[in-house]
Amino acid sequence: MTTRNFFAATRLAALLALSVAAAAPAFAQAGQQASPPAATAVSFGPKMISIRYSAPSVKGRKIFGPGGLLSKDPTYPVWRAGANDATAFNTDADLIIGNLPVPKGAYTLYCLVSDPDNWQLIISKEIGQWGLTYHPKEDLGRVKMTMSKPPAPVEKYRMTLTSTGPTSAQLEIAWENHVATVPITVK
């Protein structure tokens, strides 16, 4: 290698190293999703109920009601119960959610939030879609949720499945100034 080629190669290597160093923060930020994936699950012996969703944050925005963030979604007043992909619900057991029989299988969860203080949980038979895709004809059914206010605003959206007995659980959805719950019974 000639001296000239050596210096050209050295400059190219230095330029490449600077480019990688300059891009590193951008790649690091890209890895920090605005609405990171989250999950909750509860088991009853060998049977499991699980939910996979993405957890957005309030970030000073109004979320529910007219002019709220969710009112801008094309599926409003139906909300994907999270962010990004549709919220996935899987059950290894036949269930009763609220008063709705739900056979074992895979589903998508949505919430009807037209009245921010009176939600309905929607269980859809359609699975694997992006969260802003909703087809009402695919509904297995809808269940009224019990509403309450959290003791303090909930910044990061969360879904929680909690065992309440040997064959029962509760789903809690909490975000902003709203908490919605519904009982689940394993048949």
Q: What is the pLDDT of residues 51-77, one digit of tens each?
A: 999 999 999 999 999 999 999 999 999
- Quote the domain boundaries for residue 58: 34-186
**89 and 11 in one domain?**
no
- What lies within 8 Å, CB to CB, of 156 at 6+ separation is 55, 56, 57, 58, 175
| pTM, rounded to two decimals | 0.82
Partners of 43 in the beta sheet?
A: 48
Residues 19 and 75 in one domain: no
Indicate the number of domains in the chain: 2
> Same structural domain for residues 94 and 38?
yes
**Cα separation, 51 vs 34, whole angstroms:** 19
Kindly state the average pLDDT of the residues 124-135: 92
Question: Does one domain contain both 145 and 106?
Answer: yes
Q: Residue 17 has what pLDDT?
A: 36
Same domain, 38 and 28: no
- Give per-residue pLDDT as tens, 20-45: 333 334 433 445 678 999 999 999 99
Same domain? 51 vs 114: yes
